A and B are shown apart, each in its own frame.
Chain A
């Protein structure tokens, strides 16, 4: 009764004001919708759409309008073009998405000039958030997974030596550098570092892996872009009999994406990845998320870590729209987003007020064969509430 009185009081007092403050927030979504990496875009886009569908009413009287554009290949050029178009032609208030680091790097000057807030749903090169005060990142930095993996590989997996292999573009060097720093701090030694070509084409991994096999390290840390590469890595690893030769495969989650895991076969069993998400992760928010996903997209469609990031991205955007009451101004919006926290599919997540980067739990997960014959991931160790160590330690460009 009291609430009703309050509402009617407000309504009477500010009829005109209320009508004027119902804003339509235009969000430009930039994700890869074409090309070999289109499924990455779809994994995030589906999460965006699902969140908006289920929560559109939460931000009433404000409305959301989504304009989707294709991010293109992982080179950044097309992302810059479409982002500029979204800002100048479509006049979007916010930008969200960005799977590839080169894209997030390339658009930084545009964002700085236009002062449009941009919420990154994937691109994980650590120093990206330093490029613009209008960036907030809801996904991860390469250091989130790679740094704790270093200590885990040495202390728990028992690797004294490791080889690193990476696709030769910024996040690859970032991830393997972070792993090396964490691993060597824990007392291990990286004996071999192998770049494996550009991210555009999936190479034949065999020559690279053969070289690592001949070097006989205890662990092999592999970084590849999410998407088409993972299946190839697992095939080459299995074919060369590297596990039998005593070389354990470790890396970030991109090695065993949930939606490709079932196709990987026995070669994948025993692989240990560090990640903030897996479909099987046990928490209430994740259970609700996966159920909603299946209901919307069918029982055979699964969300992956990118979908979880996408969900949290939209969640943070919606909460902040509420907080600023629909008025999107670059600095104020980002300021309002700082310190945002919630329980999402990944568990408890927060935006670090200092770096505008995510703080989240990281889980070491091992691939195993479940009782029903399918492959699954089980959590074998957790590092709680990890901050981006690159910025904590001020490594290289993270320090600027």
Chain B
């Protein structure tokens, strides 16, 4: 019996940490897609760029890991706004195909550029001592880094939830996601709103990229390798929904971890099975609008 309890705790803990990573990267993608109906396949490239900035700051400039994370998210947030103003803006009215071509092209260009400067070898970052090793809770020890991921995820969720549900700006975003034309006609500047959420979403992606280094190692291909996973989270959760993205990240994170632990022979089957199942029953995702 304690063996089974141990397994359940392992799966829940690792699954939760994984889910937090998925949530942090995907939430920006979900909101931009919900708000503007814009398919941004370069989202993973912003995450990857954030990761490399963290690598450079910690390795070459000796900055500590946490400050580097913050700096990278803010920087990528601002850079992404430039992209939004200059490039994305042109294609808001364009077809999905054109948007996909532009953004996947950007992702490939980013991969080539980062491979040129950083090389294709996976990078790692030096962590502060308190993130290395384990936290012992008496009955068992947990990896400190994953505990940190979960804690950070919870804090971010609280902040985002407050911003989304309790503030004026959050209300405007929700209104614009629900009905863009109506929101515009009551005087909400959806364009500016979008630029802001786009920046925040990309900043969060960069944060996720920085956090992912310790999980997967970072190569320029991060930009597309895990993109399918992020898109699955967005699709299962429902476009533009904070709650949905969180729920989808939790379900996919925990089911995938459990599947890997209990039935490793099945490979990635569980992720795709659950995606197909959810989308069959709710084509717009958990909290999406038809």
Give A contacts to B, CB under 8 Å: 35-39, 42, 168, 194-198, 200-204, 206-208, 210-211, 214, 227-228, 230-232, 235, 238-241, 259-260, 263-265
Contact = CB atoms under 8 A, between A and B. Distances in A.
Contact of B264 (A195, A201, A264): A195
A168 B268 CA distance: 11
B267 A195 contact: yes
Given A195-B264, A214-B10, A239 B145 contact: yes
**Chain B binding surface, main DSSP class:** helix
| B7, B145, B217, B268: most-surrounded residue (chain A CB, <10 A) | B217
Contacts of A214: 3, 6-7, 10
Contact of A239 (B3, B11, B143, B268): B143
| A36, A38, A201, A238: most-surrounded residue (chain B CB, <10 A) | A36
B225 A198 contact: no
Interface size class, chain B: 35 or more
Contact of B268 (A198, A202, A232): A198
B224 to A, nearest CB: 10
B163 interface: no
Given A36-B219, A38-B120, 17 more contacts: A35-B221, A36-B225, A38-B115, A39-B120, A194-B264, A200-B225, A202-B216, A202-B225, A203-B260, A204-B14, A207-B11, A207-B14, A207-B258, A208-B261, A231-B217, A235-B124, A265-B124
A228 B264 contact: no
14 contacts: A206-B14, A206-B257, A228-B221, A232-B216, A232-B217, A235-B215, A235-B217, A239-B134, A240-B143, A241-B141, A241-B143, A259-B121, A260-B121, A264-B124
A210 B3 CA distance: 13
B258 to A, nearest CB: 8
A36 B260 contact: no
Contacts of B14: 204, 206-207, 210
Nearest to A245: B141
Contacts of A37: 120
Contact of A39 (B121, B133, B258, B260): B121
Nearest to B216: A202
A39 B267 contact: no
B119 interface: yes
A35 B112 CA distance: 10
A239 B146 contact: yes
Given A38-B120, A207-B260, A197 B267 contact: yes
B166 interface: no
Contacts of B146: 206, 239
B214 interface: yes
B226 interface: yes
Contacts of A264: 124
A204 B18 contact: yes
A232 B11 CA distance: 19
A201 B227 CA distance: 11
Nearest to B7: A214
Nearest to A266: B132
Contacts of B226: 201
A70 to B, nearest CB: 13
Given A206-B14, A239-B145, A259-B121, A211 B216 contact: no
Contacts of A207: 10-11, 14, 257-258, 260-261
A36 B221 contact: yes
A241 B135 CA distance: 11
A38 B143 CA distance: 32
Contact of B216 (A204, A208, A263, A265): A204
B186 interface: no
Contact of B261 (A198, A210, A232, A238): A210
Nearest to B217: A231
A158 to B, nearest CB: 25
Contact of A196 (B6, B120, B264): B264
A260 B261 CA distance: 27
Contacts of B145: 239
| A35, A198, A264: most-surrounded residue (chain B CB, <10 A) | A35
Nearest to B221: A36
A314 to B, nearest CB: 22
Contacts of A265: 124
